[in-house]
Amino acid sequence: MRRFVGRSDGLDGESREDTLQGPPISDEFRISRNELRSTRFLTAVTAVTAVVLAMVMVFGFQLMRHVLGAEPRGAGGDECEEGEVDVCDEDSVCIAGHCVAAQRPNRCQPGDPCPSDCTPSPSLRCDPETAVYVPEKRPEPAICDEVQVSRFLTEIGRKCGSLSGCKAEDLKNLAIDDKEFLQLMVTFPDTVAIHFPAGKPSIAANAQAWPNAAEAEYYVESLLPLVPQLQQASAVLVVALASRGGKNADAYSLERAKVVVERLIVAATDRAGLSPAERDTLDPKIKLLALGDRKQLTPAFYGEQVLTRSIAWDRSNQDTIRSLIEQGDGIPAKSKSWLKQTINQTVFVVPIPCRLGAQ
């Protein structure tokens, strides 16, 4: 017996039925040539549709990564750790654990040549000697006579007699209780804000020292212009913050303050050529305040008061911080979160030119 399973065209061009051995099958189960063509067409359409859907899914996934601020850097992988050298390609920075393209702010920054194609900032002026932008300064007597500064100095005199006589805990409590303390710190014309990557330096025992050579070099070069103001100041406050949302905020802020005082300021004054005697006169002026996450900077306040005097661990990160501040609320969610954390992983170095009570 024969079982008909389909039709095909022979070499002579005539249609014929292909057969296999088996019981006969009713004509209603036979597949016509048109049915075969329809089946093949539907199969092809299904395959093409599957390929298109796969491509759409891949594109959508990559678009989502970009919108969330986690665009991969390309070759070499997209994961990274902040504060580590060469984890991202050149002109990239590490944000939220992924390498993203670094950004350049539109406004002129300290150190930019003048004139330049950047947008001038009212907080900067062109230094005729160096032909670069530097922060605009107010006269020192005006700073020392301002109501907020005068109130702060009076409070120190009342509690401690003088700044040199203030215990670290008294100064810390004074800073925490003062709701306008951060505003006060940026009132002084030579204040700088030194930013640190998340988790750096490590507070773990026997952790590798940080910053490494390249990042320390960038910090020190950026601090060099501050050395004369450190020498002339009556006191130097080193005020360390930590971002909220993590653990060990007090420990991180203290460790960062120690890095600034014990490594960066020492290296900057050495490079500036201070003698051992000059260096010895600076040490007693420095007062360290580790405030943990008790005080926080907002992006709006940062953009108005801190932006042009900030120092990050390299130029790409410094430019990216400033660019994200310029862009405002329209930045991706992960970039916004990273920015809020980074501007609070900060140590303020505040040279105070005013007399603080009886020195």
The tens digit of pLDDT for each residue in 69-110 reads 333 333 334 788 888 877 788 788 898 888 888 888 887 777
Who wins on pLDDT, 242 or 77? Answer: 242
d(CA 180, CA 148): 9
Q: Are 103 and 90 in contact (CB under 8 A)?
A: no
Segment 139-167 mean pLDDT? 80
Q: Are 256 and 203 in contact (CB under 8 A)?
A: no
Confidence band for 44, pLDDT divided at 50, 70 and 90: low
Identify the burial level of 257 via C-beta atoms within 10 angstroms of its C-beta, where 0-12 means exposed, 13-18 middle and 19 or more buried. Answer: buried
Residue 64 has pLDDT above 60, yes or no: no
**What pTM did the predictor assign?**
0.73
Confidence band for 38, pLDDT divided at 50, 70 and 90: low
Is the Cα dihedral 185, 134, 256, 232 positive or negative? negative
The pLDDT value recorded for residue 258 is: 95
Confidence band for 37, pLDDT divided at 50, 70 and 90: low
| Widest Cα–Cα separation across the chain | 120
Q: Name the least confident of 49-63, 206-220, 281-295, 331-345.
A: 49-63
Segment 142-146 mean pLDDT? 83
The pLDDT value recorded for residue 327 is: 92
Coil, strand or helix: which one is 133? strand
25: which 2 tokens? 């099958």
Who wins on pLDDT, 349 or 80? Answer: 349
Who wins on pLDDT, 30 or 197? Answer: 197
Residue entry with tokens 């605009």: 136
